[in-house]
Structure 1
């Protein structure tokens, strides 16, 4: 994959400011937000609704800034941000089908483990955000789709383009730095969350670099996030911070 975005000064300023926020503020704010949700989840029925609503609003705002950086930079194209058809559509179709099978099979396995009262790997780290009502499930699905679309545009599309076009980095070095920023977003789950985000981000980054398009990373991100948010919640949520 090769890109050559030429950022304007306003475009670079927006991208740089957003990148700085994601690096320095987002990990701390995300951890604070999740810890607050975990404390309030058992006593405030609408705590999860407010959490997802705020998350959705923030992600669409970040995506709007990414689009603004693109529109304000005549020397950058949509393809430089991953907004293009994949180089090999058949590869993408095959990969989507494969990950769809993985998501469905593993999701069924998780639900069966929950019915049997068995330990579900990773559930404790996201326990407070697991929906329990129909309204919460609908909002959780909206949050999952929003997170997949917007975070891929920002972390993979914008940050890699910024690293190449504004910082003069090789695309793989820029991708590695963007991956590091993404991994820090998992800090709301504690140290293990950073590791999980790093591994998941490595997969998504590899898919992006292999296809030159955000379509496959977005699809995989959405399928696995929806699967995770459909894990049955425990009877009583934990009243503690968001560490794994």
Structure 2
């Protein structure tokens, strides 16, 4: 995969502001928002609804910034951000189906474990976000899909293109830095969350490089996020938030 974006001055300014937020603001905001949710989840019935609403609004603002960066730069086209069809559509569709099947099968397994009171790996770190009502479940699915689109557009598409086109970095180095920035977004889940986000980000970046398109990582990310955010909330008092 090769890209050759040429950022304008205006686009560089917009993208630099987005990159600064993703690097410094997102880990801080994510920790504060999740810690606040964890404190209010059991005492305020609509705490999760408000949390999901703010999350969707934030993703909307960030996505609008990414689109603005693209439109402000004639030297950056959609392909530089991975917004193209994959190089091998048939293989990509097959892999998409595999990821969806894995998400469905593992989701059923995790749901059965949770219903039997068995430990589900990683469940405690997102416990406050697990839906308990139909409205919360609908919003959880919307957030999961939006997360799959937004995270890949920003962390994989825009940041890697910015590293190559504006900072003059090698494609591999730019990708590694984007994975590092994405890993920090998992800070609200503690040190383990940072590690999990780093591994997950590396896998999604690998899928992007293998296909030349964000389509596969978006579908894989969204499918796994829907699986996680629709698991049943554990019964009884929640464990204290790590954040």
Please say whether Structure 1 and Structure 2 have the same fold, judged by a TM-score greater than 0.5.
yes
* 8 Å CA contact retained: 1:184, 1:194: yes
1:128 aligns with 2:128: yes
1:65 alignment partner in structure 2 = 65
Task: Give the TM-score normalised by structure 1.
Answer: 0.98
1:83 aligns with 2:80: no
2:193 alignment partner in structure 1 = 193
1:28-50: CA deviation from partner (whole Å, max 9, x where unpaired) = 11001100000000000000000
Q: How many residues align?
A: 243
SS in 2 for 1:132: coil
1:184 aligns with 2:184: yes
In 2, the alpha carbon distance for the partners of 1:238 and 1:54 equals 23
In 1, the alpha carbon distance for the partners of 2:240 and 2:29 equals 16
Residue 20 of structure 1 and its aligned partner are, at CA, apart by 0.7
Residue 177 of structure 1 and its aligned partner are, at CA, apart by 0.3
In 2, the alpha carbon distance for the partners of 1:218 and 1:60 equals 16
Calculate the aligned-residue CA RMSD, in Å: 1.0
Q: Which runs of 5+ in 1 are unaligned?
A: none
1:43 aligns with 2:40: no
1:3 alignment partner in structure 2 = 3
Q: Which runs of 5+ in 2 are unaligned?
A: none
In 2, the alpha carbon distance for the partners of 1:229 and 1:24 equals 25
1:202 alignment partner in structure 2 = 202
1:106-131: CA deviation from partner (whole Å, max 9, x where unpaired) = 00101111121100110000000000
Residue 100 of structure 1 and its aligned partner are, at CA, apart by 1.3
SS in 2 for 1:25: helix
* 8 Å CA contact retained: 1:187, 1:194: yes
